[in-house]
Each structure stands twice: as structure tokens, then as C-alpha cells.
A = this chain, B = another copy of it.
Amino acid sequence: MQVPAGPKGTRDFYPDDMALREAIFSSWRSTCGRYGFEQFDAPMFEHLDLYTQKSGDEIEKQLYVFQDKAGRSLALRPELTPSLARMVAAKGNNLKRPVRWFSIPRLFRYEKMQKGRLREFFQLNMDILGVAEATADAELIAASVDMMRDLGFTARDFGVHVSSRALMEQLFLALGVPAEKLPSLYGVLDKRNKISKEEFNAELAAAVSPAASPSAVAEALSVTSLADLEKVGGPLPAAGELQQLFSYLGTYGMDEFVSFDIGVVRGLAYYTGIVFELFDAARSLRAIAGGGRYDKLVKLYGGPDTPAVGFAAGDVVLGEMLLQKQFTAGNRRSNVFLISLDERHPENAIRTATLIRHAGISCEFSLRKTGVGKQMEQANAARSLLAVFVGGEEEKGGSVRVRNMKSGEEDLIDRRELVSRLAKLLSA
């Protein structure tokens, strides 16, 4: 019989894969800790409505939808933000503001598979709710940069591209695009890097004319600084807010990482203010992370008016970047491996392992009676740092032989001091 495979778009995490995943998660938790964020989580599936209410029925095409046995329509979560907004809404005003929450959700999207995109993946989510000021936007962008630095990346590896939905709205209205055409214009802009230049120009023209001039809109979209943008669109209040954000980011020491990029739109309709995306420097991969301000979502779910800003970073693109950097996660099964030298196996090994484990030290031994050579092989497979020989001649004299598996050096240790000496050897 053939061994069955796992479902398409999912991953099996063997211990080496899991070590990489845990290294990423542990770095994420550490960054969130430094920034003073608390961890939360929500169910793995929600009522389908929660997603369609926010994103329209269109979203259903990307969802794993199912009915439970009572006929409720449920969907595996494709993102965590709706659940977050629901949870914050449910607490009304009883939740102390600001809310500074992070989560590492497992998510599911039924999408066409591509490089850097799977159907089951993980994200880091960081959100601040209850702060309308640009300080919150700056705090989150700074955290996203530190999330990358904590993983070993520098300004040579990635950049943060920042724009503003409010700015775009002001700009396009100033250029004559009618308000009701904005959503379809954003849809076209979001596709910019995914379709040909000709297709883009044709779709752009269809979206803005005749009320606005397609060439004027295209010119505005080629601008690379906020100052130049006001030359094209006239004075735009949101440009000042964005300047303030960049000024704060400068104070965070983030100048080399952040830039204004009018090309950042973010497909999701719910953004209301700044939007930003992190990309690898070569722009050869999908976005590393993305986020922005979404001031209306908590209210949409029946909660109090709550300004909010957040971002999400996925594990798939980050994992690829780490592997490109030859990143290796340590994956040691146990620090100490006991080698049984006599027939009193396994009793001798059990007693010694129990002693060592009680001291909080990772320890194992061969569960099968076998020769010293085979046991040493097992110790190597477990990537153990130290081998401890139990039941040998020395033990009668009260000593235990300990071998450094890397250097091959051996020590005779007084049996009564075994645990404390092992702890010392391991911390060296």
C-alpha cells in the first residue's frame, strides 16, 4: 500500500522543519515582548458571516467553508483581524485602552499555490487599538523592522514601503476621480505588479475616465516623494500626517528602512489611513509583511468606535529568506545521553536519568539493550553534548566517566557531584 500524502498546500513539520518554525516564532514572541504586547488567540474557525460582513461575498471563494452538523456555515480563518475586532467589540468599553495585542495564528486560504504562498500558513499579527495618533502607526512600523532585525536581517535585505489610503483619496479626488470610482481604482492599483503595463494602463483609463485624465493619474503614480506629490495634486492634508509619521520613524532610528511608496495600496477594503508593506530588497518575493490603519472595523461588528492599526507577517516568505541566508535552527534532542556499560540495564540508566532530569537537564538513554557502539550512534543521532557512562568499573569506586561528544575529552566525576558538574559543563 502507498503511504497517503497530506492535503495539497499544507506542510508536514518534521523536527528539523519544526525547529525553523519555532526559531521564527520565538523571535516573534521576543520582539513582541520587548514592545510590550500581550498574546491573544481566537478560534480556528468562525461563522462565515464574520468574513463576508467585512470583505463581501467575494471572499468566500478563498475560504475553506463547511457546515457543522447543526447546519451553521463556518469557515477556517483566513486572517485573524475579524476575530480580533469581534473580541474587542464584545468587551465594549470594559477593555483598557490602548489594546496592544499580538498573536501567531495558523491561517487557511484556498488559493492558487505560488512561490511563497501555501494554503495553510502562519502569521505574526501585532495590533494597537484605541490610539488615533500617528504614534501608534510609528510604533508598529518600528516593531515590524525590529521583528526583521531580530531574525538577523539588515537594511540591505528589506525595506518598509509606506503610503496612505487617506492621502490617495485626497489625491485622486483632487485629480477629478469621482468618490464612487475609488474602490475600482484601488483594485487596479493593487494589480499593478501582477499585470502587463499595457493592461494596467487600459484598466486605469477605464477606471478614471472620463471624469479624470488617465495620464494625470499615471503621472501622480510615478511620483517618489511627498513633496513632488503636492506639486501634482495640490495641498493634501494627509501628506502632513505622513510627514509626521516619517519624522517619528526617524526618531526611532528607522530612516534607512522606510520610504514613501505610492504603489502600496493593500487590497483589503477596510484600511482607512496609512498602509505599509515590507519587501525583500530585490523585490523577488511576495510581501514579507503588510498592514495599516483600520479605524472602522470594531464598530462594524457592533463595538464602540475604536481607532486601530496593525500588521501581519507570514512565515512562508520569511522562512525562504532565512534559508537563503543559510539560517540553521539548532535542533538538539537531548543534552546528555547515558551509555550503559553493564547488564544492569535499564535500571541503572533509569535511576541516573531520573536524577539528571529532576535537575532540569535534558537526558535520555537507549531503551533497548545494545552494545556501546550502537548507543554512541544514538547519542550522535540525538546530537547530545555529553555522554555519561553508567555501570562501568569506575562506578564501583564512586566515579562516573563523562565524555564531551564534540572534543572527545573525558572526565572522571565524583558520582555525588554528577548533576551539578553536568550543569556546569553544559553552561560552559
Contacts and interface: CB of A to CB of B under 8 A. Distances in A.
Interface of A: 1-8, 10-15, 18-19, 21-22, 30, 33-47, 49-50, 53, 64-70, 72, 74, 76, 83, 86-87, 89-91, 96, 98, 100-101, 106, 108, 110, 120, 128, 131, 133, 135-136, 138-139, 142, 146, 248, 251-253, 301-303, 331, 333-334, 346-347, 350-351, 354, 357, 360-364, 367-368, 378, 381-382
A258 to B, nearest CB: 14
Contacts of A381: 96
A364 B100 contact: yes
A3 B37 contact: no
9 contacts: A1-B301, A6-B86, A7-B74, A18-B39, A33-B362, A37-B333, A44-B76, A45-B64, A139-B367
* Total copies of the chain: 2
A30 B360 CA distance: 8
A21 B103 CA distance: 13
B3 A43 contact: no
A52 to B, nearest CB: 11
A357 B147 CA distance: 12
B133 A43 contact: no
Contact of A101 (B8, B15, B96): B15
A116 B303 CA distance: 31
Contacts of A98: 367-368, 378
Contacts of A5: 90
Of all A-B residue pairs in the complex, the 8 with the closest CB atoms, nearest first, are A36-B334, A66-B66, A36-B364, A10-B43, A15-B38, A1-B302, A13-B41, A135-B367
Nearest to A41: B13
Nearest to A361: B34
Contacts of A42: 6, 12-13
Most buried by B among A3, A49, A87, A346: A3
B12 A136 contact: no
Nearest to A13: B41
* Max count, chain B CB within 10 A of own CB: residue among A45, A50, A139: A45
